[in-house]
Structure 1
Amino acid sequence: MKRTHDFAAGKIRTVSQNGTGLLVIANTERKNAITAAMWRAIPQAIHWLCGEGGARVIVLKGDGETDFSAGADISEFPTVRKDTATARLYEADNSKAFSAIRNASVPVIAAIRGICYGGGFGLAAAADLRIAAKGAAFAVPAARLGLAYPADAVQDFVQSLGTQMARKALFTGAPMTPGQLLSCGFLVDVTPPETLEIEVMELAEVIAGNAPLSVRASKIAIRAATQQDDDLLREAEVIGAATFDSADYAEGRAAFAEKRRPVFTGR
């Protein structure tokens, strides 16, 4: 059954069907720039997809056929980011959006075409997997705007780009190509623009068809390793151990023996 839910007056859209959820940044008239209301809506959208939406994997994309996201909507900065006090409140909402993607209970795949700048780049960096279309353009223009990104977003850049590319991106603000980001491991693949959605959805369908508890345990274990977090490591161990008593493990063994495709329920 297909389920939909809109947030931020329709500028953040969600769709869930057959275990795959879509989170769409929908502000095409401004190259999918993210307003303050949209930043606040992203955690709500992730919560809905992972809960009521029943998503086992989430695809994060920009609306239309042109851009992923130009980042934060700079036209709001004179009001919402005009000084230290307002910037702290604004960046708290940024951080909550990055955290919602990074800590989502299911894998998040960023499907990137066109412009992927600033906060949009930060959202992609917080995702688990990233695939880009040829011709996509990436940049972190903080140094050219005279501001700094939230520290947790910088950590996502370091973990996804590597220390050298993260330094180059943040220190120079210079644009980067899909080829450069494929080489450093930021991207899983680079595709022709016309096949981006096909490849992303095929990957999402594979993940959605696997055992949810197993995938969740793996995601948390990877986070524990990259963040050097002992609490996350213990959580991953608990969830991993629980898989052996799960109905899905029994189903996986039975399906293997019977040479059929398993049907996992997440229990």
Structure 2
Amino acid sequence: MNAYDASADVVAADSPSAPVAVPVSTDRIIAEKAQGVGRLRLNQPEKRNAISYSMWLGIVEVMKAFEDDPEVRTVVISGEGGRAFSAGADISEFEKNRSTADQIEVYNHATHIAYQTITRFPKPVIARIEGFCVGGGMAVALCADLRIATDDSTFGIPAAKLGLGYSHEHLRPLVDLVGPSFAKEILFTAKRFSAAEAQGMGLVNRVVARSDIEAFTLDYAQTIADNAPLTVRACKMSISELTKDPDERDLSLCREMVDACFASEDYKEGRAAFVEKRRPRFRGC
């Protein structure tokens, strides 16, 4: 063999296996894992996967389980039914859960923790987007590291049509991703934007045909899962720190994570695999 050929080095351990269900306290969230990829699916298709209060709590529950699971190396978040990633928060609950100051505080805390849990997740997170990706649903997608969308997806934040307020903390991921000018356009107009427009703004990384979205996203996730976990985590941490204000950056932690890569068994394995022209088998240590 004169060139690296990953397909020539597939071993039995890498062969497809049935997904394993991950327990979650609400049936409105489906979670499973297979071959290093965790999958979290918003499961309220009759409401375009509008996110209820119990679902916000379920997102945190599942992401923490994936974080603690060494078998999970990357996570894909998606919506069930094909019509929507998520149409945002479940407005039908607002009268019950968001009509008083105390209720708003409790509800906002739940959403804040959910966003924070995804944003600070130490492993790569991909949002697989089909159809509507609006409001709180778009906020969830913005917390992911990568966004892959179908060519018929639509994006928007309709806060200005509902009288809702977004804190500066919740707006920062949008501004960091698309810049102040596009962020203002999205928020001021409250319009829905096409997948092509979203990609032009930098909202999404890739746009693919609806028929290809499942295979394309899983291939991306599997590619990441097969790479050296310590390297991927160190890169994610460093990029995250670089987006912070200079006086808030933990550069010493970034250096420690880079040093850990060079001191790892995976670094030895990567060098050996390159010399031997075979697929590396990374273990995350």
TM-score using structure 2 length: 0.90
In the other structure, the counterpart of 2:10 is none
How far 1:52 sits from its partner (Å)?
3.0
Question: Are 1:21 and 1:58, in contact at CA under 8 Å, matched by a contact in 2?
Answer: yes
Query: Any residues of structure 2 matched to 1:43-122 within 5 Å, and which?
Result: 43-52=60-69, 54-122=71-139
**Aligned pair 1:245/2:245, yes or no?**
no
Report whether the alignment pairs 1:163 with 2:180: yes
Q: 1:126 is matched with which residue?
A: 143
Q: CA deviation at 1:224?
A: 0.7
Segments of structure 1 that go 5 or more residues without pairing to the other structure are none
Deviation for aligned residue 1:31:
0.7
Shift in Å at residue 199 of structure 1?
A: 1.0
- Counterpart CA distance in 1 for 2:43 and 2:276 is 45
Q: Look up the SS of the partner of 2:191 in the other structure.
A: coil
Q: Conserved in 1, the CA contact under 8 Å of 2:21 and 2:32?
A: yes
* Post-superposition offset of 1:220: 0.6
Q: Is the 8 A contact 1:19 1:56 kept in 2?
A: yes
Moved more, 142-151 or 242-251: 142-151
The answer to whether structure 1 residue 262 and structure 2 residue 280 are counterparts is yes
SS of 1:196 mapped into structure 2: helix
Q: Are 1:211 and 2:215 counterparts?
A: no
Contact 2:198 2:204 in 1 (8 A): yes
Q: Report what 2:5 is aligned to.
A: none
> What aligned pairs does 1:28-43 form with structure 2 within 5 A after superposition?
28-43=45-60
- Residue by residue, what CA displacement relative to the aligned partner does 1:198-256 show, whole Å, maximum 9, x if unpaired? 11111111100000010000001111111235443322211111111101001001101
Contact 2:174–2:183 (CA<8 Å) still a contact in 1? yes
Q: Aligned partner of 1:220: which letter?
A: M
Equivalent pair of 2:29/2:58 in contact (CA under 8 Å): yes
- Aligned residue pairs total 267
Separation of aligned partners in 2, 1:53 and 1:25: 23
8 Å contact 1:95–1:150 — kept in the other structure? Answer: no
Q: Whose Rg is larger?
A: 2
- The answer to which of 110-119 and 161-170 deviates more is 161-170
Kindly indicate whether structure 1 or structure 2 has the higher relative contact order, using CA contacts under 8 Å at least 6 residues apart. 2
Pick which of 143-152 and 189-198 moved more: 143-152
Aligned with residue 228 of structure 1, among 232, 242, 245: 245
- Post-superposition shift, 1:44? 1.1
Higher mean C-alpha deviation, range 81-90 or range 227-236: 227-236
Cα shift at 1:53:
6.6
Cα deviation 1:32-70 (Å, max 9, x = unaligned): 010001111111111111223721110110012221001
Amino acid at match of 1:245: A
8 Å contact 1:220–1:232 — kept in the other structure? Answer: no
Name the CA distance, whole Å, in 2 between partners of 1:165 and 1:96.
Answer: 26
Corresponding residue SS for 1:162: helix
1:187 aligns with 2:204: yes
- After the TM superposition, which parts of structure 1 deviate over 6 Å for at least 4 consecutive aligned residues? none
Residue 110 of structure 1 and its aligned partner are, at CA, apart by 0.5
Partners of 2:56 and 2:111 within 8 A in 1: yes
Q: What is the DSSP-based 3-state SS (H/G/I as helix, E as strand, rest coil) of the residue aligned with 1:227?
A: coil
> Considering only aligned residues, what root-mean-square deviation do their CA atoms show, in Å?
1.4
Q: Report the Cα offset of residue 8 of structure 1.
A: 4.1
d(CA) in 2 for partners of 1:87, 1:53 = 36
Please say if residues 139 and 173 of structure 1, whose CA atoms lie closer than 8 Å, have aligned partners that are also in contact: yes
